[in-house]
């Protein structure tokens, strides 16, 4: 009986002795496959986290866009009123609105005496004259928010005769 105990001990110390070499390779391959799948899943998850974070930042950046678009016609009217009826109180209110827009990264773009640029200008009228494609009148200004067009300018553009 002593012999059989010794034999058992030897077999317990050599666990791979009873297995085939092909099984070791298969389990090693299987382990590598799982490791590869885990690393890919981890990379996918990290990419998803990054994209969600970027999207949240983008949404936050333009969260007030619709509200600001509703304010712009009011600001246009206040500017027109300030030109027609100069008044200190009206100018103070207008300046508060302008400061509010600046806090939200909204900037007014004056287009007068510039070349016509369709990326942030909308031509509402054309008059013959020189220089060609020059903005000679501005109906309403353009506004940019975080370097994107919030509202295009409405402009009057010079055109050479025959164009």
Quick one: angle between helices 88-103 and 65-84, nearest 10?
150
What pTM, to 2 d.p., does this model score?
A: 0.64
Domain CATH number, residue 137: 2.30.22.10
**Has residue 32 been placed in a domain?**
no
Our measurement of the distance from residue 148's CA atom to the centroid of its chain's CA atoms, rounded to an integer in Å, reads 10
Q: Rounded to 10 degrees, what is the CA torsion of 121, 127, 133, 135?
A: -50
**Has residue 81 been placed in a domain?**
yes
Tens digits of residue pLDDT in 131-155: 889 999 999 999 999 999 999 999 9
**Has residue 147 been placed in a domain?**
yes
**Has residue 89 been placed in a domain?**
yes
Tens digits of residue pLDDT in 95-110: 999 999 999 999 999 9
The structure tokens 């059989």 sit at 4
Where is pLDDT greater, at 21 or 86?
86
Instruction: Supply the pLDDT for residue 25.
Output: 67
Instruction: Supply the pLDDT for residue 22.
Output: 66
Tell me which residue range forms the domain holding 130. 65-159
**SS3 of 113, please?**
coil
**Has residue 104 been placed in a domain?**
yes
Mean pLDDT (the chain, rounded): 85
Give 129's pLDDT tier (boundaries 50, 70, 90).
Answer: confident
Residue 81 has pLDDT above 90, yes or no: yes
Q: Check: CB of residue 143 under 8 Å from CB of residue 122.
A: no
**SS3 of 131, please?**
coil
Q: Look at the chain and report how many structural domains it folds into.
A: 1
**Has residue 125 been placed in a domain?**
yes
Residue 11, exposed/middle/buried by CB under 10 A (0-12, 13-18, 19+)? exposed
Tens digits of residue pLDDT in 109-124: 999 999 999 999 999 9
User: Which H or E run includes 128?
Assistant: strand 121-128
């Amino acid at each position: 009986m002593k012999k059989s105990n010794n034999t058992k001990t030897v077999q317990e110390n050599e666990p791979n002795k009873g297995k085939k070499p092909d099984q070791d390779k298969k389990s090693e391959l299987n382990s590598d496959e799982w490791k590869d799948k885990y690393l890919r899943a981890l990379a996918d998850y990290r990419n998803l986290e990054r994209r969600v974070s970027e999207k949240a930042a983008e949404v936050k950046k333009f969260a007030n866009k619709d509200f600001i678009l509703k304010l712009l016609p009011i600001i246009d009217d206040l500017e027109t009123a300030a030109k027609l009826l100069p008044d200190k109180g009206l100018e103070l209110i207008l300046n508060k609105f302008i400061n509010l827009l600046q806090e939200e990264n909204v900037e007014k773009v004056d287009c007068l005496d510039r070349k016509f640029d369709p990326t942030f200008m909308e031509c509402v009228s054309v008059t013959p004259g020189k220089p060609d494609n020059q903005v000679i009148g501005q109906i309403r200004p353009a506004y940019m928010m975080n370097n994107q067009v919030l509202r295009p300018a409405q402009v009057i553009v010079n055109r050479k005769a025959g164009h």
